[in-house]
Structure 1
Amino acid sequence: MHREARAHSMKKYYRLLLCSLIPLVAAALLASLFIVFTLRRQAFEQFHEVAEIYLDSIDLSLSTIQRQIRWSAMRDESFQTIANPHSLAELTDSLKTMRGQFNTLQQSTGSHFQFFGYVPADGFFFNCAALEVDYGAYLGLKERLAQLIAAPNPVYDWSLLSSRGVDYLYCIGPAQNRYIICATRLDALIEPLNALNLGPEGYVALTDAEGRALLGRGAGAHSAYGGALLGGKIRVFPVLDGYGAYGQIALPQILTVLLALIVVGYFGASTLFLQRRVLRPIQRFADNLAALNESAGPIDLGSSEILELEQANDRFQRLIAQIRKLKIDAYERERQRQRVQLEYLQLQIKPHFFLNCMTSIHSMAQLHLDEEIQRMAAATAEYFRYIFQSGRACVPLSGELAHARNYLEIQKMRYGEALRYEIRAEDGAQDVLIPPLTLQTFLENTIKHAMSLDEGLRITIRARREGDFARLEIADTGRGFPPEVLAALQSGAPFGEDGQHIGIRNTLSRLEILFGGRASVQFRNAPEGGAQIILRIPAMRAAEEGGGGA
């Protein structure tokens, strides 16, 4: 009786175990379904968040492009010259200048944005930046855009057009007799969104404000709202492959549950071993990581008895040391950058020079020197226009030389025949990039310390290519550098802390930041007298500055 009772009791336990497994399996199946729908919802939410950020950036780019092409159409002197050229050479130079500007804009917004210029009176249609479409597509866009501009009430804001089976988004910058146009393929705008995990048959659908499908396919049954462009003109919907992306998740989960039931005994026996040998060391490792966020102390897992965790501890310690060093280096670089920017602003803001120019113009007006007043006003206007537009890190050498010429012309009007200058530059060096106001810094120093009304002064600027470098030489006929100043300049010793040579110090710092050790500046006194400054910088052009040509 006792054995039967005990046997009956074991069967009872087995039945209880079996009965407990049924709801467990059912719960696992329900959990699998719940996970499938949860993953689907999370995927929609994730897509919406990513799409919202990306679409905001696209909207910002579209707004920036619209403002830029409208400004260029109305005010860009190169485009005005293209519309009314006086010679073929003038037209060629203006096209080169305008394409350089829009190549830079294209590099910052994306190569799929295409920029065109159009002069209806001459039927002149040309690309303002590198083309990313084939010639057939280019001809189709040319014909379609010309029709839209010639329409009675053309639309200048961002709108849709179709050309040879391809949908585009375009915007027009109008002027009196000329237009600048930007166009981009719709599928190129949403190409990054198609890279998200939407399933084998998933895609991104575009519709207009009324829900009509763009790009051939509309929102399907498995779609959700993802965002909008241009204030709702274009709406974005992710269309998920419901079965392909999520339907197969449930089957592996069910098999996992069944496998877990088969090996439950094994896992039960190994649980204690894992608890002592694996889980506890991992928990200690996690606790140390948590403590790392609160203090700067090192991680110590030497007694974990798990080789991988000990190796991870060593790697974390090295990584933390590197991160700390990088933080310190980044902090020092930021401090240096801020100091250079501050000194650059101090270099730009020179009210006494402006007042001297105004005083000179006033004196000329009193003497009724109308021609001199016009020259002085024009040179001063060009000088300050360059000053206020020199916010870029680098500018073409041709612009820097023109600015140097304006500066010397202003000084020549003040000093008369006592000041003479000559600027010579080879064609190969004209488009080399140089930090703005570099030449002016050294010219100001020359005028300040070497100018003499009795002895006069001659300044010579020469520029030429030397292989992969550009060589700039500034020479004068003054008395040269004083020995102590020349020694400080040649040795690289700190100078200018008192504010007397802040321009030279700032220029040397900017050359070091932009070119590193590849740029060099030599200071010396010529044997025949006078000072010489020789700059040797890498011959970088505008396309290389933006990371490569388009």
Structure 2
Amino acid sequence: MRASLRTKLIIGFLSVTVPLFALLLYNNFYAMDVVREEVGQSNKNLLSMYRNEIDRTLVDAETYLYNFVVLNENLPRYGKSEPGSADYFFAKVRVQNKMTQDLVNYPNVNLIYAYGRAENELLSTAFRGGDEAKLESVTQVLKSYIASHSDKELREKTWRIIRQGGELAIVRLVPTEYGQVVGAWTELDKLMVPLSYVSLGKQGQALFIASDGTPLTKAGIQETDSPGGKLPLPAENERYIRLRASGQNDYLLVATASRYAPLHLAVLVPESTLLQQLPYFQRLFYIIPLIGLAVLAVYLLLLQRTLLKPMYELIKGMRQIKRGDLETRLMAGGSKEFIIINDTFNDMASQVHDLKIDVYEEHIRTQKAELKHLQVQINPHFLLNAINIVYNLAELNKTDLIKKMATHISKYFRFVTRTNLSSVSVNTEFEHLQSYLEIQQLRFPQYLRYELTIAPGLERETLPPLIVQPFVENAIVHGFEMGPEFFMIKVAAKPAAAEDAPYYEIAIADNGVGIAEDQLQELQREDIHADFEDGHLGIWNVRHRLKLQYGGAAELLFERGQPKGTVVTLRLPYSSPPMKPEKGGG
């Protein structure tokens, strides 16, 4: 069942509004993704800068420990001397003094220490930022940790995370050859100080996360999709991960890993702050469909009154005319446009009785003639021959001739496909003939010659396009033979021999095999249908087009050439009166 005009209009309206709504929706999500990407990349770059600063602190502390082990001459004495001896006592004091002096150079390190396994004794500096009680607590944690690990385990070149009371710290342990373990202790809160300057809004937070996802500092979100309170970590090539917290805002988690410690620097950015302007835009999506429905209702009501109802009346009248009820008339009314349409419809219905069927038949014959004209001109055989010539020239590597051939083929088919032109100038028609003959001459370079001439003053005279080429084609197809002399085709546009004649002539002459007497008589007949029925499609085409455009003012003549060949003469009326030469004064 065919859709009505109303249905098509509704579909058309929805076809416009639905994509617009979808575009707005897509634009909203795209804008949010762009904001997330930009914020994620910005925070990742910022974290990378702070990570490099923290890593530099860790590297400096680690380098110091190795240098302390290798270069401090008191450390071997402390390890080798007999406990209680003077050497042991002075070496111990010097080691502790040296560590105390060096601690000043590392402001982010809380404690530097040396632990002797044999004596279970830990020498250390004072605890930076703490009291004696905290130093005692840290000392016990370190002794217990070092005693529970062998030197082989401690030789792994990495910082380790240790929990002391309710706080976390990272330590670096370097075993020596003398039974000691030298190390540095840094609280995570100390390393967190630079991150506190990152502006993340009221609900944003910077934190450390272990490599397994365990938060090392208290996270501002209580429940996430991840089990066990662990946080997912983005891959190295990811800018962020979205965290959905139950009952709270969604967050963007941006993190980057330290190269020297098993921890990640991370920030939690709340999306409510990030996208605080977009919710107003999102609410618009719920309003747009309602507005669209209201507009559609008003739109359909107006269409019903101004377009659909008059259109239905017009269709009803057309159907009555189709059924043969020629007395049908439409009532005036509606918009100005439909008043004009109804009046025109009524006038057309009144004139139907006076229409003649031969008008339609003549129209059909004209269309067929134009169709046959186009079919005749675009000759597939000619195209294949032209392509074959290009191929052979390519085989001979004659690039200049290939360029020339391609140019003429392009001009030829550009001209023959311009069927919308009712007339062209004589000069343009002869340029087309030159392209055609150049192509044929490349086919038969040893046998074909041609000559094209236009008398002065005739260059701008107009004639139907492709009116001369069929006779040039016939000369090559029917009159051409390979012999000792050149096959010559001459095409000349010249004024008529008779003075003051209202026409000019275009003569096509060749020196070919000529034409038989019976064929000549047949071609001279004026009956245009005889040529078509006998197979002379091109000549019938020309005669028919001349009759359509000039009536009886144009002539087509055939005669034998002297001493041989064929001459075809086209007599065409001037498109404007010819200019007469002025007589000179005495």
Q: TM-score range by the shorter chain?
A: 0.3 to 0.5
Instruction: Choose 1 or 2 for highest CA Rg.
Output: 2
Superposition TM-score, scaled by structure 1 size: 0.39
Higher RCO, Cα 8 Å, sep 6+:
1
